[in-house]
Structure 1
């Protein structure tokens, strides 16, 4: 648990310039191995800007995957580890043409426009019932085998942003 990270920020970060949110990938080192995913900066600029902001603040470092549903998804990004924590701000949905499919990285939320820091990665089958309800902001490009090994409580050790 990282309660000191919960509600740390009072406002949504500004949208970054295109060159800072396009052509980027996330490198997420976990205790099970490394997961990489490309970011959809053009389709979800606010979501990607917020995610990059939190990565640069080391917000995700040492958090856990607090929710894992076999055959569906793994979820992380909650500093409380309970499913109720966040960065202290919420932002609007950026629903786009990307579907909630295997390897999709999407914002977890508790209803429309309640995005914060929690995200999920779809593990084994498309989830069409979630299309239009969650902002898909990335896609796993490497480490899908690691995604499938993640268990509840596994640790996100370090997250960085790199050029594709």
Structure 2
């Protein structure tokens, strides 16, 4: 029963992805696009998997090409768990987002060390722009027969040492936005760039 549901969701996801109009060039025919993240602590390169997460990859790349991630903060850092960003500007204000997307967590990809995945609220289909990196194996974030998981859509190919260093920075409860696990010193995503096709 579960495999039938997963296959149906994948089919729907592919259909929706094929109907998207590309107002910006997000390399729609590239199955494994790469994005370079230039941060204040070093450079990270991720390879995305459009074959498993077409809607999620298109969503992420649209934000990349529009410049949404440029000059944003990594605002949630938990050692031995995740490094999260993609939502706050340098003034710690949330950036406007597009509509939320379909949860593709049943795609067979797991929240393992070095993968990139979509952050969301408690409801399953609420991911918009925020993403996180798994700095340890976090299979508990994968879907199960009773709950939705968090969609993995790529992996780090370069700069894992940068992510590990980020995960160890001191954090605090930020009183301005009332969020825990906020880096004491800002970690800035200076620019996200969709790399040319191989």
Same fold judged by TM-score > 0.5?
yes
Q: Which runs of 5+ in 1 are unaligned?
A: 1-12
Judged with a 3 Å threshold, the aligned counterparts in structure 2 of structure 1 residues 18 and 56 are, in CA distance, closer, same or farther, namely: closer
Query: Which position in structure 1 is the counterpart of 2:102?
Result: 92
Alignment equivalent of 1:122, drawn from 109, 134, 140: 134
Give the alignment of 1:1-164 within 5 angstroms.
14=20, 18-20=28-30, 22-79=31-88, 81=92, 87-95=97-105, 96-110=107-121, 111-123=123-135, 125-132=136-143, 133-150=149-166, 151=169, 152=183, 153-162=186-195, 163-164=197-198
Moved over 6 A (4+): none
Alpha-carbon RMSD: 2.2
Aligned length: 150
Instruction: Report the CA distance between 1:128 and its aligned residue.
Output: 1.2
TM-score by length of 2: 0.70
* Distance in 1 separating the partners of 2:48 and 2:117: 10
Could you say which structure has the larger radius of gyration? Answer: 2
TM-score by length of 1: 0.83
Q: Which runs of 5+ in 2 are unaligned?
A: 1-18, 144-148, 170-182
* Distance in 1 separating the partners of 2:78 and 2:20: 33
Judged with a 3 Å threshold, the aligned counterparts in structure 2 of structure 1 residues 23 and 98 are, in CA distance, closer, same or farther, namely: same
DSSP 3-state at the match of 2:29: helix
DSSP 3-state at the match of 2:104: coil
